[in-house]
């Protein structure tokens, strides 16, 4: 088994790197020209050759600078501060693949350089009135930039003793600078100024999934909407595990880290615990355990060996959380119901899956069948041995099949209800199946419709 050490911080200055690269590259170009001037050339051709060499000087300078702007990444697993580039290149993923991002990059994602003054102005000096969230890392504020765009500003907690906050900040920047996907929250830029550390993120204004499950946001999610969100999360994790240059393990998949858009679609956030595998062939990463109680892979807890299947386990817990509406640990419940996944799996095994269904969810043959199928998928994700758990791509495919079945059942029951009611009431409005499909699900009049991730 190959082992990779835990990351250790190394602080570099982006501005110093740029200056050093520029001076070094320019020096190489000048040396090359001086060396070639030793040749004896005819007077007639001297001007032509000199012009070509000057052109070569700038070509070498700019080409080399673009290559050197990639994120420095040591083979020893050190976390280094990336210098962002405006260049993009495709990863192993294909643009036609729904799991991968069409705008993902192999080196780093384009970002904006912000000043501390800009961020203070955007957030009204980090006013409590603009506070939209808080966690172990620090506080999140809503901000408005000069061009009018709304952003989320993540401010690291100020502490001299807690080194983990510093490492999480560096780690999240490193990870987010390497990825871009429709179902992942996007990093726009960051600022470090003395003891102030700020990340400027894409703003998602409809709260997190846990708030929706608690009824603190929105009007309650239906089974079909929960399936959309689960599929989005599965797509995001599939991208991280399979379609990035090096596999990325999130390590903290939970409902409060799933942001919900206005269209009730999902974006995975909070990459402070994420780990980047140095080599795709590595079977596991040996590292200290990090994550949230209730979502942690028991095999990871026992062996300290982190793999992509640890995210799969957490995703299984998330699926049960979504279908039951309960937290993974319910301290106020009876002892036999306190650990939600254990209680839910016992009910599933006894054939009583309907009894674990969130009481706020609407019951119907389609919804109860879907909940039972989702619980069966969660059971596979929660297998004690990581080898027995499915890959995230397989999870996404299974969920898509369940969602497709819910759609078809909903359409058929809607059509049946319309036909039945029309026999009893002349005033009942006529239903148009094509219009219903387009209004409810965005499906055109084509049997070969395809579900698209957010």
Instruction: Note whether residue 451 is domain-resident.
Output: no
The answer to whether residues 173 and 245 belong to one domain is: no
Instruction: Note whether residue 288 is domain-resident.
Output: yes
The Cα 239–Cα 245 span in angstroms is 10
The answer to whether residues 149 and 126 belong to one domain is: yes
Domain of 78, CATH number, reads: 3.30.200.20
Cα angle 97, 386, 345; round to 5: 95
**Which residues span the domain enclosing 371?**
209-422
The answer to whether residues 160 and 234 belong to one domain is: no
When pLDDT is cut at 50, 70 and 90, the band that residue 170 belongs to is: confident
Residues of the chain above pLDDT 90, percent? 48
Instruction: Note whether residue 224 is domain-resident.
Output: yes
Residue 332 scores a pLDDT above 90: yes
- Please report which helix (H) or strand (E) contains residue 430, including its range: none
Average pLDDT of the residues in 134-144: 86
When pLDDT is cut at 50, 70 and 90, the band that residue 177 belongs to is: confident
The pLDDT assigned to 7 comes to 41
The pLDDT assigned to 453 comes to 52
Which residues are catalytic, by number?
252
Instruction: Note whether residue 245 is domain-resident.
Output: yes
Mean pLDDT of the chain: 75
The pLDDT assigned to 359 comes to 94
pLDDT tens per residue, range 370-386: 999 999 999 999 999 99
Half-sphere exposure of 427 (CA within 13 A, CB side): 0
Tell me which long-range contacts 28-32 makes (C-beta under 8 A, separation of at least 24).
Answer: 28/60, 28/64, 29/56, 29/57, 29/58, 29/60, 29/61, 30/57, 32/56, 32/57, 32/60
Last residue of some domain: 175, 203, 231?
A: 203
Instruction: Note whether residue 316 is domain-resident.
Output: yes
For residue 121, what are the contacts with CB-CB under 8 A and spacing of at least 6? Answer: 146
What sign does the dihedral 176-180-182-187 (CA atoms) show? positive
Half-sphere exposure of 158 (CA within 13 A, CB side): 6
The pLDDT assigned to 16 comes to 34
Domain of 264, CATH number, reads: 1.10.510.10
The backbone region for 57, taken as left when phi is positive above 0, alpha when psi lies in -120 to 50, beta otherwise, is alpha
Residue 194 scores a pLDDT above 70: yes
The answer to whether residues 74 and 166 belong to one domain is: yes
Tell me which long-range contacts 54-62 makes (C-beta under 8 A, separation of at least 24).
Answer: 56/29, 56/32, 57/29, 57/30, 57/32, 57/33, 58/29, 60/25, 60/28, 60/29, 60/32, 61/22, 61/25, 61/26, 61/29
Instruction: Note whether residue 48 is domain-resident.
Output: no
When pLDDT is cut at 50, 70 and 90, the band that residue 423 belongs to is: low
The answer to whether residues 131 and 266 belong to one domain is: no
If one compares 245 and 406, the residue with the highest pLDDT of the two is 406
The answer to whether residues 224 and 102 belong to one domain is: no
The answer to whether residues 176 and 303 belong to one domain is: no
pLDDT tens per residue, range 269-298: 999 888 877 555 555 566 778 889 999 999
The answer to whether residues 331 and 246 belong to one domain is: yes
Instruction: Note whether residue 187 is domain-resident.
Output: yes
The answer to whether residues 185 and 224 belong to one domain is: no
The pLDDT assigned to 154 comes to 92
The Cα 265–Cα 148 span in angstroms is 24
The answer to whether residues 188 and 257 belong to one domain is: no
The answer to whether residues 241 and 316 belong to one domain is: yes
Residue 314 scores a pLDDT above 60: yes
Instruction: Note whether residue 174 is domain-resident.
Output: yes
If one compares 124 and 78, the residue with the highest pLDDT of the two is 124
Say how many domains are in the chain.
Answer: 2
Taking alpha carbons only, the member of 266, 213, 208, 211 closest to residue 237 is 266
The pLDDT assigned to 311 comes to 97
pLDDT tens per residue, range 212-254: 999 999 889 999 999 999 999 999 999 999 998 889 999 999 9
The answer to whether residues 195 and 213 belong to one domain is: no
| Torsion angle (degrees, nearest 10) of CA 259, 261, 263, 266 | -30
Average pLDDT of the residues in 10-18: 33
Q: Is 158 annotated as a binding residue?
A: yes
């Amino acid at each position: 088994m190959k082992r990779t050490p835990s990351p250790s911080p190394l602080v570099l200055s982006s501005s110093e790197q740029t200056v050093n690269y520029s001076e070094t590259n320019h020096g190489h170009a000048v040396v090359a020209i001086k060396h070639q001037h030793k040749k004896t050339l005819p007077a007639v051709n001297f001007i032509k050759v000199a012009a070509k060499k000057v052109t070569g000087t700038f070509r070498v300078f700019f080409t080399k600078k673009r290559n050197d702007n990639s994120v420095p990444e040591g083979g020893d697993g050190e976390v280094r501060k990336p210098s962002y580039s405006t260049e993009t290149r495709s990863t192993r993923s294909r643009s036609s693949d729904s799991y991968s991002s069409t705008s993902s990059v192999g080196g780093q994602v384009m970002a904006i350089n912000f000043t501390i003054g800009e961020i203070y102005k955007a957030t009204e000096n980090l006013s409590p009135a603009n506070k939209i969230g808080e966690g172990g890392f620090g506080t999140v504020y809503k901000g408005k930039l000069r061009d009018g765009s709304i952003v989320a500003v993540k401010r690291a907690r100020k502490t001299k003793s807690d080194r983990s906050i510093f490492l999480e900040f560096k780690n999240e920047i490193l990870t987010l600078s390497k990825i871009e996907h429709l179902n992942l929250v996007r990093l726009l830029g960051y600022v470090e100024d003395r003891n102030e550390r700020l990340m400027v993120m894409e703003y998602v204004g409809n709260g997190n999934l846990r708030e929706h499950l608690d009824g603190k946001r929105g009007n309650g999610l239906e089974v079909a909407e929960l399936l959309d969100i689960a599929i989005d999360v599965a797509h995001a994790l599939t991208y991280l595990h399979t379609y990035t240059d090096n596999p990325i393990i999130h390590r903290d998949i939970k409902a409060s880290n799933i942001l919900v858009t206005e269209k009730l679609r999902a974006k995975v956030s909070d990459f402070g615990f994420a780990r980047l595998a140095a080599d795709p062939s590595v079977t596991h990463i040996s590292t200290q355990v990090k994550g949230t109680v209730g979502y942690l892979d028991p095999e990871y807890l026992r062996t300290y060996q982190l793999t992509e299947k640890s995210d799969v386990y957490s995703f299984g817990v998330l699926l049960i959380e979504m279908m039951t509406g309960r937290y993974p640990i319910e301290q106020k419940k009876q002892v036999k119901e306190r650990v939600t996944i254990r209680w839910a799996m016992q009910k599933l095994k006894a054939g009583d899956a309907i009894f674990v269904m969130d009481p706020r969810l609407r019951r119907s043959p389609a919804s109860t069948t879907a909940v039972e199928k989702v619980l069966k998928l969660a059971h596979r994700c929660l297998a004690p041995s990581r080898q027995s758990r499915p890959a995230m791509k397989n999870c996404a495919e299974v969920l898509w099949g369940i969602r497709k079945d819910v759609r078809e059942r909903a359409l058929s029951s809607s059509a049946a209800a319309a036909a039945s009611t029309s026999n009893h009431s002349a005033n009942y409005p006529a239903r148009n199946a094509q219009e219903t499909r387009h209004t409810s699900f965005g499906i055109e009049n084509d049997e070969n419709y395809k579900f698209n991730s957010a």
